[in-house]
Every structure is written in C-alpha cells, then in structure tokens.
C-alpha cells in the first residue's frame, strides 16, 4: 500500500516539487473511494453545508455536524490525511473557544488536522492551536465564511493583503495553506514566498497542490458551478438515468426478477 500521508509528507512533497491532491469528502463510501484512488488529503469541508445539506452558504454548519461527517470520513480512510474544517463561529470568538472546538474535532473524529479561514487576524489563533499539538491548515483569499463581509463569492485581488495573510499563516506554524479564488500570478507569488505547501482552488497552476469540491467535480451538485471547476464525471446524470430505469422496470414488472427474489 502507498505511504500514509501526514503533514510532514506534504512538506516533503513541496520540497520535491511533487504536486499535492486534495478533494473534499463527507461520508464513508466516498472516503474509501478517494483514499483508494490515491488522493493525498481528504478535506471534510464545511462546504458540506452547501453541497450535502442544501444551505445557501457554509455559515449554518455546526461543530457537531463536522464531527459527524468527519468520523465517517476517518472510518473510510487508511492512507490519506484527513483535514476537518472548523465551522463559522467555532474559532472566531476567542482562542479558548478555538482550542476547545478544534480539540473536540481532533479527539472525537481521529482526523489528522483542522482547517480555519483567515490570515493576519487568525495568526494568534493558529499559533495557539499549533502550540497544543493541533496541526492547522490555513485558508486565505475568498474565505466563504466571510461571504457577507466580502460582498459575495468574488475573486480576491488585493496582492499586498494576500501576501501578508499568507506570511502570517506560515509564521504561525500552519502546515499548509488553501488559497481560494485568487488570480494565478498572485497565487504563484504567494506559493514561492512561503515554505509551506499551498493548495489552490480557483488559484491557477502555480500552487503546490489543487483542491476541488467532490460534488462539483463529479457533477452531483447542479445549483451552481464555479468557472474554475472541471467536471471529471457526470454522476448526476448517471444517477437520474439509473433511477428512471429502476422506475420503468418496477412499473413494468421486470424488477425484481427471479434472480433477485428468494425461493
Ligand atoms: O469547505 C470547503 O470545501 C473548502 C474548500 C473550498 C477548500 O474549504
């Protein structure tokens, strides 16, 4: 079996110039599939609130929900590093709160790390978590938990601020940094400027790795599709076809046949 991935593996991958893959996962069957496919890290993103629970954004997601999904993913994973998002308002109030909630997530799921959103403003929080042994992945650029502050899901272009945010996250001891919806040239410059691996989403090819939301890349979510997403399969259409076929067979008496019945 391929080597088990941890935070130091990712650092070594950056040093070796090997690209890192991250995909979101929210449940046991997909965690097994992602892990068996050789994906390096599975992110239990708070995007679960949008693509699984159907909320309009990630803000309503709770720590308990992250723990529920995180446990399922950890149970389905043998090789990949599992990272779990700290949801909105679980770490912004105080550092004590952040320690408590991140600690709960690590303890109750068995995940390898947490992720939180924010740059300079989150530097002390990241440092406090790292100091008590909780590996932290940062997240800058378009930070969806701040969608109301940012005025929508928009590309972030303030180069100086982004460079400062990245430097603050790295200096605080984060082991990796997600960069979301940032022009390629800026994301490349950030990736060169920090020692920790950068994982881009809508941030071009100059990052040290790439992350996509599972339901976007498999076309399982049709409410909207960001322009940076590539659809690698069309499981939404496949599912509809399968259900129509099942329906037709049941209604016409084809299913269940003798091979699917007990004598
Ligand atoms: O919640 C999530 O899925 C994320 C990714 C977009 C990086 O944070």
30 and 150 co-located in one domain? yes
Residue whose token pair is 């909780």: 134
Using CA atoms, how far residue 160 sits from 9, 164, 165, 256, in Å, is 30, 6, 9, 64
Please report whether residue 186 resides in a domain. yes
Please report whether residue 199 resides in a domain. yes
87 and 160 co-located in one domain? yes
Please report whether residue 171 resides in a domain. yes
Please report whether residue 92 resides in a domain. yes
263 and 137 co-located in one domain? no
228 and 240 co-located in one domain? no
226 and 242 co-located in one domain? no
Please report whether residue 112 resides in a domain. yes
Residues annotated as part of the active site: 180
Residue with the smallest CA separation from ligand 1 atom 4 is 45
Of 113, 136, 102, residue with least CA distance to 5? 113
96 and 112 co-located in one domain? yes
Residue whose token pair is 């180069």: 159
- Distance of alpha carbon 30 from alpha carbon 213, whole angstroms: 12
Helices 184-193 + 159-171 axis angle, to 10: 30
Of the residues 20, 21, 24, 70, which should be mutated to test ligand 1's pocket, given the most ligand atoms within 8 Å of the CB? 24
217 and 242 co-located in one domain? no
pLDDT at 160: 98
pLDDT at 3: 75
200 and 254 co-located in one domain? no
192 and 207 co-located in one domain? yes
- Token couple for 256: 């269940």
Domain span holding position 217: 7-232
Q: Domain tally for the chain?
A: 2
Q: What is the radius of gyration, based on Cα positions, of the chain?
A: 20
Q: Are 61 and 88 in contact (CB under 8 A)?
A: yes
The dihedral region occupied by 73, where left means phi > 0, alpha psi between -120 and 50, and beta the remainder, is alpha
Q: Is 85 exposed, middle or buried (0-12, 13-18, 19+ CB in 10 A)?
A: buried
Q: Which are the contacts of 156, defined by CB distance < 8 A and separation ≥ 6?
A: 141, 142, 150, 162, 180, 181, 182
Q: Are 51 and 86 in contact (CB under 8 A)?
A: no
Please report whether residue 133 resides in a domain. yes
Please report whether residue 1 resides in a domain. no
Across-strand partners of 82?
42
Give the CATH number for residue 204: 3.20.20.60
Q: pLDDT of the chain along its 263 residues, tens only?
A: 567 999 999 999 999 999 999 999 999 999 999 999 999 999 999 999 999 999 999 999 999 999 999 999 999 999 999 999 999 999 999 999 999 999 999 999 999 999 999 999 999 999 999 999 999 999 999 999 999 999 999 999 999 999 999 999 999 999 999 999 999 999 999 999 999 999 999 999 999 999 999 999 999 999 988 999 999 999 999 999 999 999 999 999 999 999 999 99
Our answer on whether the CB atom of 140 is closer than 6 Å to any ligand 1 atom is: no
Please report whether residue 2 resides in a domain. no
Task: Tell how far the Cα of 196 is from the centroid of ligand 1, in angstroms.
Answer: 18
Q: Which atom of ligand 1 is nearest to the CA of 178?
A: 7
170 and 118 co-located in one domain? yes
Give pTM, 2 decimals: 0.97
Give SS3 for 223.
Answer: coil
90 and 117 co-located in one domain? yes
pLDDT at 2: 63
Of 129, 100, 104, 107, residue with least CA distance to 116? 129
Our answer on whether the CB atom of 213 is closer than 6 Å to any ligand 1 atom is: yes
Residue with the smallest CA separation from ligand 1 atom 6 is 213
How many helices and strands in the chain, by DSSP H and E? 11, 8
154 and 33 co-located in one domain? yes
């Amino acid at each position: 079996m391929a080597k088990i991935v941890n935070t130091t593996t990712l650092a070594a991958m950056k040093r070796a110039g090997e690209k890192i893959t991250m995909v979101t996962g929210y449940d046991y069957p997909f965690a097994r599939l992602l892990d068996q496919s050789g994906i390096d890290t599975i992110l239990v993103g708070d995007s679960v609130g949008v693509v699984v629970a159907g909320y309009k954004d990630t803000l309503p997601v709770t720590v308990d929900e992250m723990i529920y999904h995180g446990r399922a993913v950890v149970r389905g994973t043998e090789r990949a590093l599992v990272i779990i998002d700290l949801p909105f308002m679980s770490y912004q109030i105080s550092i004590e709160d952040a320690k408590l909630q991140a600690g709960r997530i690590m303890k109750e799921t068995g995940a390898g790390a947490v992720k939180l959103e924010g740059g300079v403003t989150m530097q002390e929080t990241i440092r406090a978590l790292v100091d008590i042994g909780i590996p932290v992945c940062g997240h800058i650029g378009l930070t969806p938990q701040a969608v109301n502050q940012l005025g929508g899901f928009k590309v972030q272009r303030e180069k100086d601020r982004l460079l400062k945010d990245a430097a603050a996250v790295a200096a605080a001891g984060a082991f990796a940094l997600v960069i979301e919806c940032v022009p390629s040239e800026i994301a490349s410059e950030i990736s060169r400027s920090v020692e920790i691996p950068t994982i881009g989403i809508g941030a071009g090819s100059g990052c040290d790795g790439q992350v996509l939301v599972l339901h976007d890349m498999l076309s399982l979510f049709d409410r909207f599709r960001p322009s940076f997403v590539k659809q690698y399969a069309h499981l939404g259409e496949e599912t509809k076809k399968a259900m129509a076929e099942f329906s037709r067979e049941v209604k016409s008496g084809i299913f269940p046949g003798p091979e699917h019945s007990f004598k």
